[in-house]
Structure 1
Amino acid sequence: MPRVVPAVIRALDILELFLDQPRLSAREIAERLGLPRTTVHELLVTLVARSYLISVPGQPVQFRLGMPLFQLGAAFAGQLDLVREAQDVAQDVAAACDEAVHVAVLSGADVIYLVKVDSTHPVRMVSAVGRRLPAHCTAVGKMLLSSLDPSDLDALLPPGGLSAMTPDSITDPDRFRAELDRIRAEGVAVDDGESDSAVRCVGAPVRDHTGKTVAAMSVSAPIIRWTPTAHAEWTRLVCEGAVALSTRLGYRAPR
């Protein structure tokens, strides 16, 4: 088996800390990763030398991400048609409902948001592109998990129970499997305050040219605007949006 390089792993661990914090000091990095300061110092010197990290002006002991990481991200996004197409469709759906619209993909047992279009309401959902959440607590995540083969799903669901983000999160594996059965039958998934007690979401599947579910789209709104009439309308809009995005990706629904 090829051997992983510990120094590279540690350097990547450092960079991934900046996914949640825009600025970090060498001391904070060492504490969070449990590494000796001398090791962190050597890694930081190397990352700064290649401009993957840069010192914050006026605060030389503070670091932030550098331009090469943006360039790598842009190159990745440029190759991923899903992001470009999803942004256009999500904007159309958001314009129709004036609520937050997300497109997300599955990453292990989590979802990662690739696209977000905000509502114009002063009270709205707080989220961001690149955010990672437990899939079983979200509408997009439930939709994506419902599309997995049984063996792949089994590998992601711990037998001891699922973690909770709110009191309404589904933590019992059997109950969650029943929820996925319902989603497969109905074609839509709902987050009923399971990731944020003040927010409700409805999600639909996005398929590629092979018919595989590669992403999910959702409409999210604060509970104060989540009425039965609005829920029905947003379900229609997110389903239509997901179909529109799937069509752009080459999907053709069976006749």
Structure 2
Amino acid sequence: MRVIRLSEREEFSSDQLVILAKFGEKKHLEELQKGKLFMKNFQFHINKEKEEKNKGLGDKNEATKIFYNPIIQITDPTTKETRNIETQKAEIRLDKHVKKPVFCLTRLDAKDFIIKEINEDYMEAQLSVDKGRKKVLKQFGPYSLLISNNQFVERLKQKLDNFIFKRAIYEDKADNKNFIELFKEDDPDLFFYKDTYFMNQNEKRLVLFGENVEDYKVLDIGDLSDMSYLTETNKLLSGELVVRYPAKEV
């Protein structure tokens, strides 16, 4: 029998969000369930790859515009003479950007679920991701906290004023002609662009664009127990998560 993805149903799109997940150590996720969001700045994630050579858990190109084979023009301030220098790669990154606090969650979308049962009362779908994505998600921690997106968004609106909470955009930054304009205009959207290498993470990010932190910030948004569920990552990725939709909704 052919496996049918939830995203194949006309009621759903492939990128329709079903639920959010945060992966990590149990003690850290228990604090998150209490409402304490541990937010590192972008510099932390940049250093994670640069210093620890850990691409995936870190990303040296966060909030960074990359140019390949650019020609850089340098002007002598005294003589006003200019000359062109060719280089293989150049990067633009601003200090005020890398100090912004960020909190990342993983989206589990309709395309990640397979339909297990349909009857006159309900439809059930089970989480089923491929081996490649399982490998990526497991590296973030042995436990997972599942969080209702709608309830989480409402809580953020209650507790915060200046924030952006949206999905990451995955594309080659070197090919993105609009990315430099985001820098010029100081557009918060620049915090949501990531290279296609990271697509399996499928992030949704909370960024406090009105704040700068030297290292991290603990944001308390109130207890999340009524909108979350803690489980082991292996169990989650082995099919433990089943969602049920009443017949009237499908």
Whether these two folds match at TM > 0.5 is: no
Query: What is the TM-score with the length of structure 2 in the denominator?
Result: 0.22
Q: Per chain length, whose mean CA-contact separation is higher, i.e. which structure has more relative contact order (CA < 8 Å, sep 6+)? A: 2
Task: Report the structure, 1 or 2, having the larger strand content.
Answer: 2
Task: Report the structure, 1 or 2, having the larger helix content.
Answer: 1
Query: What is the TM-score with the length of structure 1 in the denominator?
Result: 0.21
